[in-house]
Amino acid sequence: MTPPIRIGIGGWTYEPWRGTFYPPRWPAKRELEYASRHVTAIEVNGTFYSSFKPATFATWRDTAPDGFVFALKASRYCVSRKVLAEAGESVQRFVGQGIVELGDKLGPILWQLPATKKFDADDIAAFLALLPSVQDGVALRHAIQVRHATFAVPAFVALCRAAGVAIVHGDSADYPALADVSGDLVYARLEKAREEEPTGYDAGELDRWTDVARAWAAGESPAGLPYVADPAPVRPRAVFVFFINGAKVRAPHGAMALIERVGGAPANPHPAEVS
């Protein structure tokens, strides 16, 4: 069977979504309940800035419906450092804070490097080796986003493939993009949403991303994207696509439009509206 294509947004607490995505008078304490029934994944940005208690992750797990997945952005203390090879203690603290409470709703961990970080093969290899494959009996999956042009070399792709870590494809106006497939999943962040478009991306762009997402799920390396290495072996892969950054107010509508196009659907019926 073709692995799932999960599509979502960054976080669920954003004031401009109140009345544009969330219905009027929708309770703030029920925003995750609502969001997790309209998209199929959420990238959690809050985990970049602070740690959380295991009970918090358990609450997220219990609030979201079956089939929903949370991607977690790794702590800034892991990635915002000159020498990534020295991040071992911070990496262990991050994965050990209780993220396993998410259970089968734990998606990939996003390791987003600063835009100023340049490619250093030895340092990157050492950092990738720090990323654990399992925590407390729960399998972990990893994706790394780099944003400096020096990473656009076959050596970086080779390191990620050897480590089984996905390279994030960022559709960004600000940073160079890499689309080389590595690991057992594909992770894309669509960062060019425009506010004048109700869905952030226009219909033609959404149709294109539909084709790209389906090709990724089938294990292909879609044409028309920026590559620096030979294509990865063709095998089905789980796909995660997040509408994030750009005109964030449009992100939920872009995500829902793409979900409809790929033939997916939120896992459970929408929660009851408030009167």
156-181 pLDDT tens trace: 999 999 999 999 999 998 999 999 99
Q: In the prediction, which pLDDT does 161 show?
A: 98
pLDDT average, residue stretch 187-204 = 96
pLDDT average, residue stretch 219-235 = 96
Beta bridge partners of 142: 109
Q: In the prediction, which pLDDT does 274 show?
A: 46
pLDDT average, residue stretch 182-198 = 96
pLDDT average, residue stretch 71-96 = 98
2-54 pLDDT tens trace: 779 999 999 999 999 999 999 999 999 999 999 999 999 999 999 999 999 99
pLDDT average, residue stretch 239-246 = 94
96-137 pLDDT tens trace: 999 999 999 999 999 999 999 999 999 999 999 999 999 999
DSSP 201: S
Domains assigned to the chain: 5-262 (3.20.20.410)
Q: In the prediction, which pLDDT does 263 show?
A: 87
Name residues whose C-beta falls within 8 Å of residue 252's C-beta, 6 or more positions apart in sequence. 9, 17, 21, 35, 38, 39, 243
Six-digit token pair at 274? 């408030």
Residue type, 217: A
Q: In the prediction, which pLDDT does 153 show?
A: 98
- Reference 183, options 124, 135, 244, 128; nearest CA is 128
Return d(Cα 229, Cα 193) in angstroms, integer: 28
Contact 142, 183 (CB under 8 A): yes
Which pTM value belongs to this model? 0.95
What confidence category does residue 246 fall into, taking pLDDT thresholds of 50, 70 and 90? confident
pLDDT average, residue stretch 239-262 = 95
Phi, psi (5° rounding) for residue 111?
A: -105, 95
Helix and strand counts by DSSP (H, E) for the chain: 9, 11
Q: In the prediction, which pLDDT does 258 show?
A: 97
Better-scored residue on pLDDT, 235 or 275: 235
Given a cut of 80, is residue 191 above it in pLDDT?
A: yes
Return d(Cα 255, Cα 243) in angstroms, integer: 6
Plot region of 19 (φ>0 → left; ψ -120 to 50 → alpha; else → beta): left
pLDDT average, residue stretch 212-236 = 96
Q: In the prediction, which pLDDT does 275 show?
A: 37
